[in-house]
Amino acid sequence: MQDGILRGNPAVQRRAMAKAITLLESSRADHREQADGLLTALLPHTGKAFRLGISGVPGVGKSTFIEALGLHLIGKGLRVAVLAIDPSSTVSGGSILGDKTRMEQLSMRMEAYIRPSPSSGTLGGVAEKTREAMLVCEAAGYDVVIVETVGVGQSEIAVHGMTDMFCVLQLPNAGDDLQAIKKGVMELADLVVINKADIDPNAATRAQAQITSSLRLLGMHGNPDHASAGALWQPRVIQISALLGQGVDAFWEAVSSFRDMQTTNGRLALRREKQSLAWMWERIDFGLKQAFRQHPQVKAMLPVLQDDVAAGRIAASTAARNLLLAQMQ
Ligand code: GDP
């Protein structure tokens, strides 16, 4: 499988990638062992792609934009992988992003690889599978890996935590902008893209000015990815029309200058380092919690203590301490 990923012709490579990602997504313990072996073998071949996160509310135009961007990049001789984290799949097994008819033109291109969101599990689990799928795409030589998510909740933080650059798509509508700023999402954004500028150019220009000044204010508090000495990236706001393909080249120029700056000032390497360590700790936390819940003594005590805490018979912290002590025995 690993040979197919690293050296196969395009058709062989695609099959090997799909097989590898299915293996990574499996929850069987023996599969997990194989998957870990595969990741270790692929790891030296990863890291060369640019990892681009794209978020936005349903309907903002993410798939239209990613398709236009993907085709633009293929035109430049690049290969593009598109992965997704769909928060709805983790809650209901449903899908906001997973529509099969999305990105029809891009999905027909040999230079593109599109994979829908892992379809179940906790958000942490889905994020982990997506990170691993990203490594498979990188080992297969894709130049740009786009990770798409919906502009709600924790999934944006997850995508921000695994990409080199995080872009937020916005509608040219001031109410929405304030919403996003309130939610703290704008603080994560390296680039804000106002889409559908063709519908109302004046509104788009107003939104651009408003978001630009909001980002300046946020910048004064400092985004840890942007704040430190040296040539630093100031988050930008651009207008596009994904439908008409307008502004896609300007978008890619902004991405390229971000990449150059972050490479030169060392922030790109630092961001990846932090992300890898945060990922490790997140999985340790998860693993410990799982082991904790499976401990026989804890299993026996948990229902009673939970009732006691709920009924106010014992303090939550005391119950937690008792359970932790039981697990250590
Ligand atoms: P997603 O849910 O964020 O993936 O949004 P889609 O890409 O599916 O787009 C939602 C709708 O908006 C579709 O009907 C698109 O054709 C339309 N759309 C996307 N981008 C633009 C744009 O730049 N201008 C206009 N007028 N419509 C757009």
Calculate how far, in angstroms, residue 241's C-alpha sits from the geometric centre of ligand 1.
9
Report the atom number in ligand 1 closest to the C-alpha of 195.
23
Does residue 199 line the site of ligand 1, with CB under 6 A? yes
Q: Tell me 167's DSSP state.
A: E
Beta strands (DSSP E) in 128-271 are 144-150, 165-170, 191-194, 236-239
**How far is 61 from 254, CA to CA, in rounded Å?**
19
Average per-residue pLDDT for the chain: 88
Query: Tens digits of per-residue pLDDT, 174-231?
Result: 565 566 565 677 778 999 999 999 999 999 999 898 888 888 877 665 555 555 556 7
Query: Is the model's pLDDT at 58 over the cut of 60?
Result: yes
> What is the identity of the amino acid at 158?
A
Query: Is the model's pLDDT at 148 over the cut of 60?
Result: yes
DSSP string, 84-126: EE-HHHHHHS--SS--TTTTHHHHT-TTEEE-PPP-SS-HHHH
Calculate how far, in angstroms, residue 60's C-alpha sits from the geometric centre of ligand 1.
6
Report the atom number in ligand 1 closest to the C-alpha of 169.
3
Task: Count Cα neighbours of 223 within 13 Å in the Cβ-side half-sphere.
Answer: 23
Query: What's the confidence (pLDDT) of residue 176?
Result: 58
Query: Is the model's pLDDT at 309 over the cut of 90?
Result: yes
**How far is 211 from 234, CA to CA, in rounded Å?**
13
Structural domain boundaries of the chain? 1-45, 46-265, 295-328
Does residue 51 line the site of ligand 1, with CB under 6 A? no
pTM for this model (two decimals): 0.89
Calculate how far, in angstroms, residue 150's C-alpha sits from the geometric centre of ligand 1.
14
- If one compares 91 and 312, the residue with the highest pLDDT of the two is 312
Query: What's the confidence (pLDDT) of residue 91?
Result: 59
Fold annotation for 1-45: 1.20.5
ipTM of the shown complex: 0.99
- Residues 239-248, mean pLDDT to the nearest whole number: 96
Shortest-distance Cα residue to atom 22 of ligand 1: 196
Fold annotation for 46-265: Rossmann fold (3.40.50)
- If one compares 96 and 162, the residue with the highest pLDDT of the two is 162
